[in-house]
Amino acid sequence: MQVEITSGPAFAFGDISLPAGGSVRVEAGAMAMTRGDIQIATSTQGGFMKGLKRSLGGESFFVNDFSSGSGGVVGVAAALPGDMAKVSLDGQTSLMVQSGAWVASDPSIDVDSKWGGGKSFFSGEGLILLRCSGQGDLLLAAYGAVRAMTLNAGEVLTLDTGHVVAFDDTVTYAVRKAGSWKSTLLGGEGLVTDFTGPGRVWMQTRSSSDLIGWIQSKLPPQRS
C-alpha cells in the first residue's frame, strides 16, 4: 500500500495511491477524498457475523473496498485529531489493534476481532480487540502523535490504557492498578497495561477518554 501521510502530527491525512488494477480496504466513514479512476464497493468483509464481531471491536459493521482500473488516489482521515502510522505485516505476526485505530489496509490483510476477556474489560477499553493478520500494510490512526517502540524479549513497557494503539501478538499484556486503590481512585492514574516483549508497541500521546472526561467536566450540571 503506497501511502503519503501529510498534515501530521496534529491533523494527519493519508493519501493512498492505487495503481491500475489496485485496491484498498477502508473503514466506513474514513474516506475524505478520491481522485482519478476510483470505484467503491461496500460489504461486511466476510459475512454478517464477521461484520458484527468487528463492530463490537469499535469499527463499523461495513467496510468499503476502493479499486481503480487505471489508477487513482483515496484520501482518508480519522475522526479525532492526531497522527497516522503505516504498519507492515509479514504474514507471520498478527497485530492487535485498539478499537477505532484501524483506518485502512491492503485487501490481503484480514481484519477480525479477538475476545480480550477480563483484561480489556477492567481496562475500560472495550471487550474486543481487532486482530489484523496476513501479509501487507495497514494504516492506523491515533489521538495525538504516534510513538512506535520495539521491546526486547522480557523487556516491559507500561502504558496508561488510554494511550494504547496497537501491539504485535508476540507481546503479552496484563492490566493492573497504577498503584494502591487510593492512588487509583483519587490520584487520577487509574489502570495501566504492562506489555512484555518481544515485539512492537504503538502508543498515542493523548487519551480520548481523558478528552471526554475534560469535556464532561466543563458541561453545566443537569437539573431535573
Cα separation, 167 vs 151, in Å, equals 10
Mean pLDDT of the 90-111 span: 92
First to last CA, the chain: 53
Phi–psi pair at 11, nearest 5 degrees: -135, 60
Residue 174 CB-half CA count within 13 A = 5
Cell of residue 134, nine digits: 496476513
Average pLDDT, the chain: 84
pLDDT of residue 221: 80
- Give the predicted TM-score (pTM) of the model: 0.82
Domains of the chain (ranges plus CATH)? 2-218 (3.60.160.10)
Cα separation, 138 vs 85, in Å, equals 8
Distance of CA 224 to the CA centre of its chain: 39
Query: What would the pLDDT profile of 189-216 be if each residue is shown by its tens digit?
Result: 577 889 999 999 999 999 887 887 788 8
* H/E run at residue 128: strand 128-133
pLDDT of residue 127: 45
> Which of 90 and 182 is assigned the larger pLDDT?
90
pLDDT of residue 111: 87
Cα separation, 60 vs 26, in Å, equals 10
Q: Left, alpha or beta for 91 (phi > 0: left; psi -120 to 50: alpha)?
A: left
By residue count, the chain amounts to 224
List CB contacts of 180: < 8 A, sequence separation 6 or more.
Answer: none
Contact criterion met (CB below 8 Å) for 138 and 89:
yes
Mean pLDDT of the 137-153 span: 97
